[in-house]
């Protein structure tokens, strides 16, 4: 048994959800562990019969009976959004999603006050918006850092008295800073949060160790490495560590070895939100039905395959055991590969925490221009050669049936035994 960790080596939206769904369809997975992000994640899974769900907090293996979801302490948990997600899952045939959910008691709690503050700040930026999803995830993390002993956490939902005190302090602090918030009174919020505590299994940090011993687990990352809080292109980043680091720490604490690392890449480099996208090309007449324009992030942007940016993401992530290359059905003569910019062919990671350095890198990328080569005869071979890692899974469509493993690393266990 070897656990698997899945991380996006772009700006998000590369297909992590569909890769996790495929792993759960082929490997007898016990639990999908979410290890960063929150309700702003949007991992789309489409089944053979056409059913579709955008997984935000539930693991992308939830369509498979018996596969559990665990929200680790590194996830920002939004009970209101979670309830809405469970309701949609019920409409597509998954009626027991909440029964298969465990939540770490120490995880930060996202509230309507965080969401309202996040939206107020983003609106105030005007033309300099950062591309926030407007769901309050970053605001929740920021408040947790500023007030670590008073920030609402999942465990607080068990006590209406404690939660009332912490929500009241939260609302008063944010109101004093930003003015009146477009959010309900504390008393109106309490029933939903205490009801959440009565409906889901809230566990301590030791629960995960048992799940890791019980069967194969898939660690499902959120967002992308190029949006990482320390190594992304500041300020157009997420308040989350999007590399394998959180998954590694959870495994180490449980006495488990490092998981098999899978980096997910899309054949077309994309970005939802503001910030650098060096290979962006408005003449690429592409669309993504699951990533429409929205009022917070704006339009979904498309570019040619950016090997320079993805090499940087791979270095930041500390390497992978294999790559999953998705959206190969978009390959065509108009899609080219960028191996270098007019300024450089390699971006060097810096020390975590040096946001001035990252901001300077952002400014440099915004001035950079791509240099293109013609589309390769074999995209799989070209991507592997450029990034120095094997492509172990390819995808030509949204369903698990559209996936093809290459080599033994991700081959279904039955095929490995037969070989």
Percent of the chain whose predicted confidence (pLDDT) is above 90: 87
Same domain, yes or no, for 184 and 143? Answer: yes
Separation of alpha carbons 307 and 250, rounded Å: 30
Q: Is the pLDDT of residue 12 over 80?
A: yes
User: Do residues 35 and 119 both lie within one domain?
Assistant: no
Question: How many angstroms separate the CA atoms of 8 and 240, rounded?
Answer: 13
Whether 262 maps to a domain, the answer reads yes
Phi and psi at residue 170, to the nearest 5°? -60, -50
Check whether residue 117 and residue 145 sit in a common domain.
Answer: yes
pLDDT tens digit string along 123-136?
A: 888 777 666 667 88
CA distance 414 to 411: 8
- Structural contact between residues 238 and 137, judged by C-beta atoms closer than 8 angstroms: yes
Same domain? For 176 and 281 the reply is no
Q: Is residue 225 part of a domain?
A: yes
- Domain check: are 165 and 212 in the same one? no
pLDDT score for 272: 87
Taking phi over 0 as left and psi of -120 to 50 as alpha, with beta for the rest, 371 belongs to: beta
Asked if residue 89 is part of any domain, the answer here is no
User: Can you tell me the distance from the alpha carbon of 125 to that of 379, in angstroms, rounded to the nearest whole number?
Assistant: 40
- Say whether pTM exceeds 0.85: yes
106 assigned to some structural domain: no
Can you point out the beta strands (E) in 185-285?
A: 201-203, 217-220, 260-266, 269-272
Domain boundary among 140, 173, 203: 203
Residues 246 and 358 in one domain: yes
CA distance 5 to 28: 15
- Out of 203, 226, 259, a domain closes at 203
Torsion region of 24: left, alpha or beta (phi above 0 gives left; psi -120 to 50 gives alpha):
alpha
Residue 171 sits in the same domain as residue 51: no
For 199-211, the pLDDT digits (tens) are 999 999 999 999 9
Specify the residue for token string 């190029």. Answer: 226
Structural domain total, the chain: 2
DSSP state of 298: B
Cα separation, 112 vs 78, in Å, equals 9
Q: Residue 396, annotated ligand binder? A: yes
Please report the sign of the dihedral spanned by the C-alpha atoms of residue 117, residue 121, residue 124, residue 129: negative
CA 198 to chain centre: 27
**Cα(262)–Cα(340) distance, integer angstroms:** 24
Task: Look up residue 188 and give its two tokens.
Answer: 């109106």
Give yes or no: residues 181 and 254 share one domain. no
Cβ neighbour number for residue 175 with a 10 Å cutoff: 15
DSSP H or E run through 20: helix 16-26
Instruction: Please tell me whether residues 231 and 128 are part of one structural domain.
Output: no
Tell me, yes or no, whether 238 and 369 share the same domain: yes
Binding residue per annotation — 231? no
Do residues 42 and 152 share a domain? no
Question: Is 130 labelled a binding residue?
Answer: no
Q: Is the pLDDT of residue 186 over 50?
A: yes
Residue 78 token pair: 């939004």
Query: Of the residues 153, 169, 203, which one is the last residue of a structural domain?
Result: 203
Which residue, chain included where needed, has tokens 């105030």? 124
Cα separation, 215 vs 197, in Å, equals 26
Q: How far apart are CA 229 and CA 157, in angstroms?
A: 28
Task: Compute the distance between CA of residue 11 and CA of residue 310 in angstroms, rounded to an integer.
Answer: 10
- Domain assignment of residue 102, yes or no: no
- Bridge partners (DSSP) of residue 271 are 301
Residue 116 in any domain: the answer is yes
Does residue 52 have a known ligand-binding role?
Answer: no
Give Dmax (Cα) for the chain.
Answer: 66
CA 397/CA 358 separation, integer angstroms = 35
- Inter-residue contact 59 to 67 (CB < 8 Å): yes
Question: 379-387 and 307-317 helices cross at what angle (nearest 10)?
Answer: 50
Q: Which of 3, 8, 13, 310 is catalytic?
A: 13
Per-residue pLDDT of 96-110, as tens digits, reads 999 999 999 999 999
Confidence class for position 197, pLDDT limits 50, 70, 90: very high
* Residue-wise pLDDT tens digits, 315-341: 999 999 999 999 999 999 999 999 999
Q: Is 57 annotated to bind ligand?
A: no
Around Cβ 355, how many Cβ atoms within 10 Å? 16
Token pair 């559990």 in the structure block, residue: 68
Cα–Cα distance, 171 to 167 (Å, whole number)? 6
CA gap 225, 10 in Å, rounded: 6
What CATH number should be reported for the domain holding residue 184? 1.10.300.10
Determine the structural domain holding residue 188 and report its residue range: 112-203
Whether 402 has a binding-site annotation, put simply, is no
The span from the CA of 223 to the CA of 227, in Å, is: 7
pLDDT tier, 416 (very low <50, low <70, confident <90, very high otherwise): very low
Q: What is the CATH number of the domain that holds 262?
A: 3.90.170.10
Q: Is 310 a catalytic residue?
A: no
Residue 397 structure tokens: 């469509």
Determine, yes or no, domain membership for 103: no
Please list the residues that pair with 7 across neighbouring strands: 263
Is residue 223 annotated as involved in ligand binding? yes
Taking residues 254-274, report their average pLDDT: 95
Looking at the fold, whether 198 and 210 belong to one and the same domain comes out as no
Instruction: Give residue-wise pLDDT tens across range 22-64.
Output: 999 998 999 999 999 999 999 999 999 999 999 999 999 999 9
**357 domain residue, yes or no:** yes
User: Would you say 329 is a known binding-site residue?
Assistant: yes
Is 356 annotated in some ligand binding site? no
Q: How many CB atoms lie within 10 A of CB 282?
A: 8
Catalytic annotation, pick one of 3, 21, 30, 43: 43
Residue 141 φ/ψ, nearest 5 degrees: -65, -45
Decide if pLDDT at 418 tops 50: no
């Amino acid at each position: 048994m070897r656990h698997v960790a899945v991380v996006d080596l772009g700006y998000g939206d590369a297909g992590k959800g569909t890769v996790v769904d495929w792993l759960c369809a082929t490997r007898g997975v016990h639990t999908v562990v979410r290890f960063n992000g929150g309700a702003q994640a949007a991992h789309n899974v489409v089944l053979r019969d056409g059913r579709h769900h955008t997984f935000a907090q539930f693991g992308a293996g939830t369509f498979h009976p018996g596969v559990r979801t665990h929200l680790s302490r590194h996830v920002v948990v939004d009970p209101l959004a979670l309830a809405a997600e469970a309701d949609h899952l019920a409409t597509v045939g998954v009626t027991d999603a909440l029964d298969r959910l465990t939540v770490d008691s120490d995880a930060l709690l996202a509230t309507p006050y965080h969401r309202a503050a996040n939206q107020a700040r983003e609106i105030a930026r005007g033309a300099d918006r950062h591309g926030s999803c407007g769901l309050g995830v970053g605001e929740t993390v920021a408040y947790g850092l500023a007030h670590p002993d008073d920030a609402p956490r999942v465990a607080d939902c068990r006590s209406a008295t404690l939660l009332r005190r912490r929500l009241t302090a939260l609302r008063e602090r944010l109101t004093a800073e930003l003015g009146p918030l477009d959010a309900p009174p504390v008393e109106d919020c309490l029933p939903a949060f205490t009801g959440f505590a009565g409906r889901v299994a809230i566990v301590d940090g030791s629960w995960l160790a048992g799940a890791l011993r019980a069967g194969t687990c898939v660690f499902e990352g959120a967002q992308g490495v190029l949006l990482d809080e320390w190594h992304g292109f500041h300020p157009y980043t997420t308040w989350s560590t999007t590399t394998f680091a959180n998954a590694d720490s959870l495994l180490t604490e449980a006495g488990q070895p490092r998981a098999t690392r899978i980096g997910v890449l899309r054949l077309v480099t994309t970005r939802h939100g503001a910030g650098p996208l060096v290979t962006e090309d408005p003449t690429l007449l592409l669309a993504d039905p699951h990533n429409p324009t929205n009022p917070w992030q704006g339009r979904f942007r498309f570019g040619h395959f950016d090997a320079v940016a993805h090499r940087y993401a791979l270095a930041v992530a500390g390497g992978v055991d294999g790559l999953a290359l998705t959206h190969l059905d978009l390959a065509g003569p108009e899609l080219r590969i960028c191996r270098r910019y007019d300024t450089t062919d390699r971006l060097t990671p810096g020390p975590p925490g040096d946001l001035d350095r990252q901001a300077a890198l952002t400014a440099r990328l915004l001035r950079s221009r791509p240099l293109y080569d013609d589309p390769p005869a074999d995209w799989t071979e070209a991507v592997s050669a450029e990034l120095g890692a094997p492509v172990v899974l390819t995808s030509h469509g949204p369903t698990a049936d559209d996936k093809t493993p290459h080599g033994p690393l991700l081959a279904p266990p039955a095929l490995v035994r037969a070989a």
